[in-house]
Amino acid sequence: MLAATAFVVAAVLYSAWMPGQFTSPLVDRTDGLVGELAARDQPSTRLFRTSDVLSGLAIVLGVAVTYRVRREWSGWLALAVFGVLVIAGGLFPLDCAALGDPVCELTPLSLSHHVHAVTGVLATVAVLAAMALLSRCWNAYGAWLITGAALGATALTLAAVAGGYLAGVAQRAQATLTAMWLVYVALRLLVADDPVDSGPVSGGSLFGGVVSGMVGSSGAHVVVQGEGPVVLISAGLGGAWFHWDRVAAELARSHRVVRFDRPGLGRSPASPAPPTLYGEAARLAALAPAHPEQVTVVAHSVAAWHAEAFVRLHPMCVSRLVLVDPSRDDRRRRASSLGRTLGQWLPALGGAWGATALALLAGPAVHRLVNGLPDHGRAYRTGRGLAAAAGEWLARHDMAADLRRVRARHAFPDVPVTVISSRGRARGRARPAAELNADLVHLAASARRIHLAASAPIADAVRRLR
């Protein structure tokens, strides 16, 4: 709906020349081009330039929020380029009406005039390429009809400009067909039922003694390795299973280590609903071994809240709890209504072209900066991963509020707890350790956070609980 609305708005703004041409009598409607209406010497130049910029922005927004279908990437890329070029045309107007004003060619022309001429040609090429590429993917009669007519109008425009007669008529027909194409795209998005292509999600596999596969009706990605007492590892905010590779390898010598990806992260498919504390606690319960066997839970960052709620709601399932750099419960902050609304939209936006492009450009670099690890398995190059991480960040205040309610209703059982923290965050971790009557273990002399690549200290802290 949002993408369709953006394309309709773009079509309306792109067609501002239709009524606006009557406000610029100096531009000949038979031989003058549409772009000349926005020339600096025309009375309505600001109006037309603004409509061009807004139209281009609406086109780029429409492409950004359109659901990703991999085979259509080239067509949508061409359409986004068209939008950018329309913006450039509005920012760099003509100096004067070149075809309608003989004096224009006799005066020195600015760089803006030449840039507008180049962007106009490139924009025509881009939109025709988008029409042809998307029509080939859709193979729809209406798409091919508009594309063919636009190609014919473009050929007529070139011939008219070369012949010096009826260039304005031919180019206006071409601009009208471009606006019709944008409306057609909007209508197709409203009625199409194509599934969101959020990237490949691998199935089960066995490598190096590690079993990896999908579990449950939601298809969560779970990795199991080793034999012995079960250790269930829950990654921090936006985390993935491979962040714990070294820790899991250490623990797997004497334990059965279970790791998993929350919805949208790692190799797990996205969920249509935003994350909740109760949902994550239920996920831990589903992955825990059956009674009477108990599990050791290792949770990092905000996952410490999930783990604490799991322990309080299912006290018979847990033998011990290890919290690595647990997030603080900021009682002063509350989730905003805007944040909740955005959180509801994020799962859908994660399958859009804009999220995919942003993840490809910045995902691996940001991931390495934050975690100090390479992007194993291209987990952070997908829009669904970006949307899932943002959704968890937006949901943290609601999760904290839910955790306070769980604490008020369910006492913490007699389960040994260890809180592992860097000395740089010792003061912030002292309160949660005291609330859970936990042992506080400090790692690193002055680091602000624990890097999971340092596996031995974390694994040793887990083993000391035995």
- Model pLDDT for residues 341-367, shown as the tens digit of each residue: 777 778 777 888 888 888 888 888 887
**Region of 262 on the Ramachandran plot (φ > 0 left; ψ -120 to 50 alpha; else beta):** beta
- Cα angle 358, 362, 364 (rounded to 5 degrees) comes to 125
What rounded mean pLDDT belongs to the chain? 82
The least confident of 16-25, 221-230, 256-265, 394-403 is: 16-25
Place of tokens 């590690």: 210
> How many percent of the chain have pLDDT more than 70?
81
pLDDT of residue 202: 43
Candidate ranges 12-21, 225-234, 435-444; pick with highest mean pLDDT: 225-234
Is the pLDDT confidence value at 443 over 90? no
The least confident of 81-95, 121-135, 186-200 is: 186-200
pLDDT of residue 18: 79
pLDDT of residue 193: 47
pLDDT of residue 257: 93
The least confident of 30-39, 40-49, 351-360 is: 30-39
- Which is more confidently placed, 454 or 192? 192
pLDDT confidence tier of residue 335, bands split at 50, 70 and 90: low
Residues 6+ apart with CB under 8 A from 107: 95, 96
CB neighbour burial string for 301-331, b if at least 16 within 10 angstroms, e if fewer = bbbbbbbbbbbbbbeebbbbbbbbbbbebee
Is the pLDDT confidence value at 238 over 50? yes
pLDDT of residue 31: 63
CA distance 195 to 407: 41
Classified as helix, coil or strand, 213 is: strand
- Which is more confidently placed, 348 or 277? 277
